[in-house]
Amino acid sequence: MLFYKLLFIIMVSSPLLHSYEEGEVLNGDVKIFYRDYGPKDADPILLVQGLGGQLINWQDHLIEFLIENNYRPIVFDNRDTGLSSKIQSELFTDDRAAKTISRTYIKYFLRLPINPVYTLDDMANDSVAILDGLDIDKAHLLGISMGGMIAQIVASNHPDRVKTFTLISSTVSTPTPLNGPSRHVRKLLMNRSNNPYSTIDERIERGKKIYSAIGLEGYDLETEEFYNKSKESIERAGQNDTGFSRQIMAILGSKDRIKKVKSIQAKTLIIHGDEDPLIKVRNAHRAHKYIKDSELIIIPSMRHLIEPPVFDQFKDKLLVHLSSQT
């Protein structure tokens, strides 16, 4: 059963990104922290973040674009990230975290059963709790990467709650060695999973390597903005970063969503980079095959993220898509 509790409200007297409400909802005993950019009379769109992503990691240019076009972006910290609940498990205490995720990867490659602490279905229920808590009957839905996997379940299980569905850099299947991360990216993710208690600067450098590998080639990360945003993310999450590993377990331990995906009724736009090293582009074509009447856009030179030069290539298509709800 889903419960709702308003935590507090922040209103900052400045336009667009500096004016919003924040609060929390409860899915059982799991707290999900959200930010509602408003305005309340605009068309709501729920954005679901990817692996380890927090609500502050949504790019400003995307949020500004939505607000400027009369949409109401609602973002949140998935469980185990940011200010949302950290899921306690005896498997992830002190040095056991690294050993647990290493064993999970071994099971993953050997195709053995994985018993995650929670599943993507649980995270989908967290998303629905946001809509319930804000008294939103129906909203647009946009998910990126792991957030796209979560959003697929929402769109399938709750068709009456979804106006349109946008799937970015994601997959309808559990990642495998054939359709998942390249060896280089997989090694970087493993390094993060195996070192959850590093210093802030070590974690920023590690994040920089991951962003360089999965983001637009040549994009400058040696900036004060990147450093400050990374530091803010780390401080919001706390020193214990083991939630990243539990989210990996949720991805690897959840069943394929093919049957659910085939039932999606919402008008769907699929966006994917032709150079994505984390979730290969073949996954986008497969999603397009299974989601009825979906539209597929492959972006040249795009990897896994939506930097401004990438967003500029599909923002007009996104606007047409959002305005075409049935």
What's the CATH number where 258 sits?
A: 3.40.50.1820
Report pLDDT for 323.
95
DSSP string, 104-129: HHHHHHTT-----SS-HHHHHHHHHH
Write down the pTM of the prediction.
0.88
Domain of residue 71, residue span: 2-322
pLDDT (tens digit, 9 = 90+) per residue, 56-75? Answer: 999 999 999 999 999 999 99
Are the CB atoms for 248 and 193 separated by under 8 Å? yes
Report pLDDT for 11.
35
Q: Which residue has the higher pLDDT, 5 or 288?
A: 288
Q: Which residue has the higher pLDDT, 230 or 180?
A: 230
How many domains, the chain? 1
Nearest to 35 by CA among 54, 52, 50: 54
Q: What's the pLDDT band for 132 if we cut at 50, 70, 90?
A: very high
- Residue 241 to residue 196: CA distance in whole angstroms: 5
Cis ω on the peptide bond leading into residue 181 (within 30° of 0)? no
- Residue 139 to residue 45: CA distance in whole angstroms: 5
